[in-house]
């Protein structure tokens, strides 16, 4: 049996505790991985796999990465879904007796990243903890890099739907969970696949009430949960306790920047399900998942990363409280009106560093001297920023002024202590300013003086020996030395001690030289370690102020968000909407905020909207394909949503009665991964809408019933429209190619027809993009197909067929009546099809030229005709 080396013994003992992570083991300037970890990492990171004799039976597979570039490698591993445990030397190698002590200082997981280079600036990086039992879910999520912590519970019906919506809204990078109900757990696992989530189960015992209670109390240093605002038995308590426990086990430090928990309810903001978020392209486009081309892409003029993240959150969680919305709108208005204010705000905000992420770095001890200078420069801007808005009347701006602290003590401390351009590394010196600490000054002068001693010594030796070319030099291996060229060797005194022979010279040392050297080098080393100590002291002083800096950071984020909305409102000619709790949505000359930017402003045709809840809740919109139906309906939804986040709107004027939810049903694509057909997806979306919409919701239905036969589809569309206007009474825009639906106007109260107008020019059509009252009488499908470039022959043939069909009068046929005689109607329609098919068979028979038909052709024709006859 071979004996394990002490290093491998230490490695294996540590690795035993971190089986589910790749262990990065610090050895000198490298982080090494061994055994299976090495095999995985070398493949994933494309680095060479070597081996090392560690006393195991065989050489241990090994690979390593240099410590200065370790972040890149960690990032790669995290992106590929691994956890990484960082094992450091935890004592000074020079002081160690035997093998240097090592331990894991942090486990990095996708949800616990804090290094800014690994994170997206304007996007949060959430870790979510889900606790579930038979009464519902508790959800707590945190962004460790910014210090934001939120919790909620879901206890009503639609548990699953609400959970999925919340996950999709927050897009957490990592989820941990403990769910006591098998069905709900299975559901979460389905979500994992569907939305490509990174999910791990966390030990159930960690969610026991007493245990979570202890975790929370200890973390927040409180005696009762009441001080945090938790209601009794709130499920968020479990999720929060579990999350804190997970952070403690992985981060291995007190996370003082997580000092507030925000308890929220799903009912506090507009509810948007995953389909609606995607369809309305709120933060990214459907096709390419890009911010450009989304609503966020248009509204984001924020200058700080903090503002960028907050704007995204505002868009993801539109408000439903009229007063809160108006607070935002008033603030946007007052900044929009004032060009100078906007300009000055931008200039000052531009200089503000990501204070939220900086606070996390301070708490983690990973802040560097340059970060502190950036902090100081940011803080310097705060008085200016306050001055710019101090006279603005808007209440929200006033409270922002109140929230911003100047942090003079910290600013002055950094100003006094840290060099303007310090080194990035904390352990290389060049951090502390002269005059801040006496000892640093003395050591520095010793090292400076030492250098002049060297010059004096050089002159003295030259005189003493008479060697004019004698030089004193320095290298890392020998330290200071006296260099004499070969031609002068005869003049070298006997007391010189030879150290090195080069081709044209010899190098010597003397006791005098070594004495000076030890003074110089000693003081240099000392100053570096003293600077490091002082830096840490300064960091701890700032750490005590983290909660206050976070407050300021949040206020700045809000201000930047308001600035952005004001800037966009000014640039794009948006106006302030009137917000109330009435049931009317009235928009004058509305424009689609994204599409108007893509076309030329002058080309986009504005349209009016009027929907109310009593006589006018459902608008049926007809018009040919490409006329602009989808654009119009999405435009209405986006305008309402913009208004409710506190943004000005892309219209000439608008009154928005606040809506509690927006639903969209837009041409579904097959969800094959879930084994669902287009029609099934369409119908389940429709079911969810009809079951959840309230009379305060806004519905956008872009065609329904398309995925099945005409009669089925039409009947479904018809009865859905009736159901909405009779039972739900929510504001609805419904585009359809079933012109029959327009007959509902006048029959069912609250349904009104609109069409998007087109102009016929000879055989072609021109899209006017104007929404007008009334219904379209033609589909213009063939004209649109022609515009799309279908071959001429196909177009001509389609026209022929259409004429035939029209001769059979199918389109003019008596429209569907109310349901009592719908059966008759259906039969009538079927008869009509039978007639058409008979005529088709007859026509085909007549056209056969028997002289030119081969027996095989004849058989084929017969086969086809028989199939048609079978369908009759
Ligand atoms: P539909 O839903 O009727 O098939 P879309 O809404 O998809 O039509 O519109 C088709 C195209 O017409 C859009 O891509 C857009 O570029 C353009 N469009 C729509 N509405 C307008 C408008 N009001 N002004 C200018 N162009 C528009």
pLDDT in tens, 159-188: 998 999 999 999 999 999 999 989 899 999
Residue 85 in marked binding region = no
pLDDT tens digit sequence for 133-164: 988 999 999 999 999 999 999 997 789 989 99
Domain, as residue range, for 700:
578-777
Say how many Å lie between the CA of residue 293 and the centre of ligand 1: 15
Same domain assignment for residues 499 and 456: yes
User: Got the DSSP string for 685-701?
Assistant: HHHHHHHH--TT-EEEE
Pairing of strands 148-154, 262-263: parallel
| Cβ 779 under 6 angstroms from ligand 1 | no
Same domain assignment for residues 54 and 92: yes
Cα–Cα distance measured from residue 207 to residue 212, given in angstroms and rounded to the nearest whole number? 6
Which ligand 1 atom is at minimum distance from the Cα of 625?
Answer: 4
- Whether 361 is in a domain gets the answer yes
| Cβ 629 under 6 angstroms from ligand 1 | yes
Same domain assignment for residues 721 and 611: yes
Which CATH number belongs to the domain containing residue 130 in this structure? 3.30.420.110
CB-based burial label for 691 (10 Å; 0-12, 13-18, 19+): exposed
Contact, 63 vs 36, CB < 8 A? Answer: no
Same domain assignment for residues 518 and 551: no
Nearest to 432 by CA among 570, 554, 289, 529: 529
Nearest to 415 by CA among 392, 432, 439, 390: 432
Rounded mean pLDDT for each run of 10 residues along the chain, 872 residues in total: 86 94 94 95 94 86 92 91 93 80 94 88 96 94 96 89 93 96 92 93 95 96 90 94 96 92 93 92 92 96 98 97 98 95 96 96 94 97 96 95 96 97 90 94 86 89 93 87 93 91 92 87 88 96 96 98 98 97 95 89 86 85 88 97 98 97 76 62 85 93 77 84 90 88 85 87 82 80 77 78 67 39 42 57 79 78 77 64
- Whether 400 is in a domain gets the answer yes
Same domain assignment for residues 648 and 673: yes
The pLDDT score that the predictor gives to residue 73 is 93
| Cβ 336 under 6 angstroms from ligand 1 | no
Same domain assignment for residues 89 and 156: no
Residue 675 in marked binding region = no
- Whether 538 is in a domain gets the answer no
Which ligand 1 atom is at minimum distance from the Cα of 631?
Answer: 6
Say how many Å lie between the CA of residue 631 and the centre of ligand 1: 5
For residue 96, the tally of other CB atoms under 10 A from its CB is: 12
Residue 793 in marked binding region = no
- Whether 287 is in a domain gets the answer no
CB-based burial label for 462 (10 Å; 0-12, 13-18, 19+): middle
Contact, 149 vs 260, CB < 8 A? Answer: yes
- Whether 295 is in a domain gets the answer no
Say how many Å lie between the CA of residue 771 and the centre of ligand 1: 11
| Cβ 603 under 6 angstroms from ligand 1 | yes
Sheet holding 136-143, edge to edge: 199-201, 174-179, 127-133, 136-143, 148-154, 262-263
Tokens, residue 434: 């002269």
Task: Indicate the SS3 state at residue 2.
Answer: coil
Which CATH number belongs to the domain containing residue 64 in this structure? 3.40.1170.10
Number of domains within the chain: 6
CB-based burial label for 266 (10 Å; 0-12, 13-18, 19+): middle
Same domain assignment for residues 458 and 394: no
Say how many Å lie between the CA of residue 628 and the centre of ligand 1: 3
- Whether 797 is in a domain gets the answer no
Residue that terminates a domain, selected from 268, 286, 309: 268
Contact, 470 vs 493, CB < 8 A? Answer: no
The pLDDT score that the predictor gives to residue 667 is 66
Residue that terminates a domain, selected from 54, 75, 108: 108
Intra-chain end-to-end CA distance of the chain, in Å: 87
Contacts of 666 (CB under 8 A, 6+ apart): 275, 279, 630, 700, 702, 703
Same domain assignment for residues 124 and 101: no
Same domain assignment for residues 471 and 493: yes
Which ligand 1 atom is at minimum distance from the Cα of 598?
Answer: 16
The pLDDT score that the predictor gives to residue 738 is 82
Same domain assignment for residues 597 and 729: yes
The pLDDT score that the predictor gives to residue 247 is 96
- Whether 654 is in a domain gets the answer yes
Residue that terminates a domain, selected from 753, 777, 801: 777
- Whether 699 is in a domain gets the answer yes
Q: What is the DSSP letter of 455?
A: H
Provide the b/e sequence for 788-815 (b: ≥16 CB within 10 Å): eeeeeeebeeeeeeeeeeeeeeeeeeee
Best of 604, 631, 701 for a ligand 1 pocket test (most atoms within 8 Å of beta carbon): 631
Q: In terms of pTM, does the model score above 0.75?
A: yes
Q: How many CA atoms lie within 13 A of 648 on its CB side?
A: 27
Residue 625 in marked binding region = yes
Say how many Å lie between the CA of residue 154 and the centre of ligand 1: 39
The pLDDT score that the predictor gives to residue 871 is 65
Which CATH number belongs to the domain containing residue 395 in this structure? 1.10.1420.10
Say how many Å lie between the CA of residue 596 and the centre of ligand 1: 10
Same domain assignment for residues 519 and 456: yes
Best of 600, 626, 632, 633 for a ligand 1 pocket test (most atoms within 8 Å of beta carbon): 626
| Cβ 627 under 6 angstroms from ligand 1 | yes
Same domain assignment for residues 91 and 173: no
Residue nearest to atom 20 of ligand 1 (CA): 628
């Amino acid at each position: 049996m071979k004996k394990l080396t002490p290093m491998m013994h230490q490695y294996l003992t540590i690795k035993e505790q971190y089986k589910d992570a790749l262990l990065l083991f610090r050895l000198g300037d490298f982080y090494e991985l061994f055994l299976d970890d090495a095999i995985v990492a070398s493949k994933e990171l494309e680095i060479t796999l070597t081996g090392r004799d560690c006393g195991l039976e065989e050489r241990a597979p090994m690979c390593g990465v240099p410590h200065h570039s370790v972040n890149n490698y960690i990032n790669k591993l995290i992106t590929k879904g691994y956890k990484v445990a960082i094992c450091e030397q935890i004592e000074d190698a020079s002081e160690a007796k035997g093998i240097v002590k090592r331990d894991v200082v942090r486990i990095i997981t996708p949800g616990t990243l804090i290094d800014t280079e690994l994170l997206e600036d304007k996007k949060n990086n959430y870790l979510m903890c889900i606790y579930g039992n038979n009464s519902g879910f508790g959800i707590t999520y945190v962004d460790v890099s910014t210090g934001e912590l939120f919790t909620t519970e879901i206890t009503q019906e639609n548990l699953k739907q609400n959970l999925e919506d919340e996950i999709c809204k927050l897009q957490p990078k990592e989820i941990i969970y403990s769910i006591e109900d098998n069905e709900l757990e299975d559901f979460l696992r389905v979500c994992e696949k569907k939305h490509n989530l990174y999910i791990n189960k966390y030990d159930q015992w960690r969610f026991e009430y007493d245990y979570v209670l202890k975790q929370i109390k200890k973390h927040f240093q409180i005696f009762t949960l009441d001080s945090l605002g938790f209601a009794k038995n709130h499920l968020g308590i479990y999720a929060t306790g579990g999350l804190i426990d997970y952070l403690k086990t992985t981060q291995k430090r007190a996370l003082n920047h997580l000092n507030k928990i925000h308890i929220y309810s799903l009912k506090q903001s507009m509810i948007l399900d995953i389909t609606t978020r995607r369809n309305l392209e709120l933060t990214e486009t459907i096709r390419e998942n890009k911010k450009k081309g989304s609503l966020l892409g248009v509204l984001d003029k924020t200058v700080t990363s903090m503002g960028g993240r907050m704007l995204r959150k505002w868009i993801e969680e539109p408000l439903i409280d009229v007063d809160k919305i108006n607070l935002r709108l008033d603030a946007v208005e007052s900044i929009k009106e004032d060009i100078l204010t906007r300009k000055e705000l931008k200039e000052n905000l531009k200089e503000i560093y990501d204070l939220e992420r900086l606070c996390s770095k301070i708490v983690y001890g990973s802040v560097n001297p340059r970060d502190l200078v950036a902090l100081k420069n940011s803080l310097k801007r705060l008085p200016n920023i306050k001055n710019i808005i101090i006279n603005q009347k808007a209440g929200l701006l006033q409270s922002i002024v109140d929230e911003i602290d100047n942090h003079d003590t910290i600013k002055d401390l950094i100003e006094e202590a840290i060099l303007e351009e310090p080194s990035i590394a904390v352990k290389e010196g060049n951090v502390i300013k002269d005059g801040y600490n006496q000892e640093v000054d003395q050591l520095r002068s010793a090292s400076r003086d030492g250098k002049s001693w060297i010059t004096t010594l050089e002159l003295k030796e030259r005189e003493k020996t008479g060697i004019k070319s004698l030089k004193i030099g320095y290298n890392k291996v020998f330290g200071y030395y006296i260099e004499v060229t070969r031609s002068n060797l005869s003049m070298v005194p006997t007391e010189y001690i030879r150290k090195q022979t080069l081709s044209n010279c010899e190098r010597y040392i003397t006791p005098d030289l070594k004495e000076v050297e030890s003074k110089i080098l000693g003081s240099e080393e000392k100053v570096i370690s003293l600077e490091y100590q002082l830096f840490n002291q300064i960091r701890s002083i700032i750490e005590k102020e983290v909660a206050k800096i976070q407050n300021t950071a949040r206020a700045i984020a809000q201000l930047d968000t308001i600035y952005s909305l004001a800037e966009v409102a000014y640039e794009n000619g948006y106006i302030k909407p009137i917000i109330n709790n009435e049931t009317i949505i009235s928009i004058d000359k509305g424009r689609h905020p994204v599409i108007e930017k893509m076309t030329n402003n002058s080309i986009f045709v504005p349209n009016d909207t009027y929907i109310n809840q009593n006589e006018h809740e459902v608008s049926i919109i007809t018009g040919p394909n490409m006329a602009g139906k989808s654009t119009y309906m999405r435009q209405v939804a986006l305008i309402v949503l913009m208004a409710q986040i506190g943004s000005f709107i892309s219209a000439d004027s608008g009154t928005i009665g606040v809506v509690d939810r927006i639903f969209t049903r837009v041409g579904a694509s097959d969800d094959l991964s879930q084994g669902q057909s287009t029609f099934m997806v369409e119908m389940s979306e429709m079911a969810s809408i009809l079951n959840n919409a309230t009379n305060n919701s806004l519905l956008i239905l872009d065609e329904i019933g398309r995925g099945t036969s005409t009669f089925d589809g039409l009947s479904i569309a018809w009865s859905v429209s009736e159901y909405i206007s009779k039972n739900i009474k929510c504001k609805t825009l419904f585009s359809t190619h079933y012109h029959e639906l327009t007959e509902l106007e006048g029959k069912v109260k609250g349904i009104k027809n609109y069409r998007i107008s087109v102009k016929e020019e000879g055989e072609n059509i021109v899209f006017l993009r104007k929404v007008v009252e009334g219904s379209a009488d033609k589909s213009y499908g063939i004209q649109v197909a022609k515009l799309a470039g279908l071959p001429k022959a196909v177009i001509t043939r389609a026209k022929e067929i259409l004429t035939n069909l029209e001769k059979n009068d199918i389109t003019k046929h008596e429209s569907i009546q109310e349901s009592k005689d719908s059966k008759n109607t259906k039969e009538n329609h079927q008869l009509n099809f039978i007639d058409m098919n008979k005529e088709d068979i007859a026509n085909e028979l007549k056209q056969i030229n028997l002289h030119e038909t081969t027996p095989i052709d004849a058989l084929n024709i017969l086969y086809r005709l028989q199939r048609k006859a079978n369908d009759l």
